[in-house]
Amino acid sequence: MAVAKFGSVVLDCPDPRALADFYIGVLGGRVKAADDQWIDIEGYEGTALSFQKAPGHVPPKWPTAEASQQFHLDLDVVDLDAAEAEVLALGATLLEKGPEGRTWRVYGDPAGHPFCLCVG
């Protein structure tokens, strides 16, 4: 028997509203609950995401052992180039494109958390 059930992936960040808006732009959905320290989003397909205010947040680095990424999100897309253009317009930063023909690329969200767009 399980001890618990999965609730949400929570991303620490300096500005929960801005990061929630970024992921709503990427995944769709809307704000479910919010206060000045925490935001939950809903209404998209996939795992629950929440955003927590973390004063002094230091973004992880990609890739380096000195400032571990700790985790990253894999987001499936149909057209990698089109999805890249959209996430960059929303405020993402390209961290690693890789060789021609690779089916995934690494980005940083506006708070610096790495995520991958993957053809899938």
Q: Where do the domains of the chain lie?
A: 1-57, 59-120
Q: Kindly report the CATH number that applies to the domain delimited by 1-57.
A: 3.10.180.10
At 114, the amino acid letter reads P
Q: Check for a shared fold between 1-57 and 59-120.
A: yes
Q: What is the pTM of this model?
A: 0.84
Question: What tens digit of pLDDT does each residue of 33-72 get?
Answer: 999 999 999 999 999 999 999 999 888 888 777 767 677 8
Our CA angle for 74, 107, 76, nearest 5°, is 30
Q: What is the model's pLDDT at position 69?
A: 65
How many Cβ atoms sit within 10 Å of the Cβ of residue 75?
18
Q: How far apart are CA 17 and CA 1, in angstroms?
A: 37
54-70 in b/e form (b: 16+ CB < 10 A) is: beeeebbebeeeeeebe
Largest CA distance in the chain: 46
Q: How far apart are CA 19 and CA 11, in angstroms?
A: 9
Protein fold of 59-120 = 2,3-Dihydroxybiphenyl 1,2-Dioxygenase; domain 1 (3.10.180)
Q: In the predicted model, what is the mean pLDDT of residues 88-96?
A: 96
Q: How far apart are CA 73 and CA 106, in angstroms?
A: 10
